[in-house]
């Protein structure tokens, strides 16, 4: 079962990605994240700003 992450966790995750210089696919693979979940949260948080 996947770890439940909070909204604040996702903010930190997306900030780390933004500073990585990697593609979304590469970054998610190297950090063990599902790319679709990552894209969902990235979009969700962008809409909130």
pLDDT for the residue 2: 60
Residue ranges per structural domain of the chain = 7-48
| Percent of the chain with pLDDT strictly greater than 90 | 88
pTM (two decimals): 0.87
How far apart CA 3 and CA 5 sit, in angstroms, is 6
Q: Take residue 8 and report the two structure tokens written for it.
A: 């604040």
The answer to whether residues 28 and 35 touch, using CB atoms and an 8 Å cutoff, is: yes
Q: Average pLDDT, stretch 32-49?
A: 95
Q: Within 13 Å, how many C-alpha atoms sit on residue 47's CB side?
A: 6
């Amino acid at each position: 079962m996947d770890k439940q992450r909070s909204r604040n966790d996702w903010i930190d995750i997306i900030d780390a990605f933004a500073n990585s210089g990697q593609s979304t696919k590469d970054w998610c693979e190297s950090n063990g994240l599902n790319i679709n979940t990552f894209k969902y949260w990235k979009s969700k948080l962008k809409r909130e700003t």
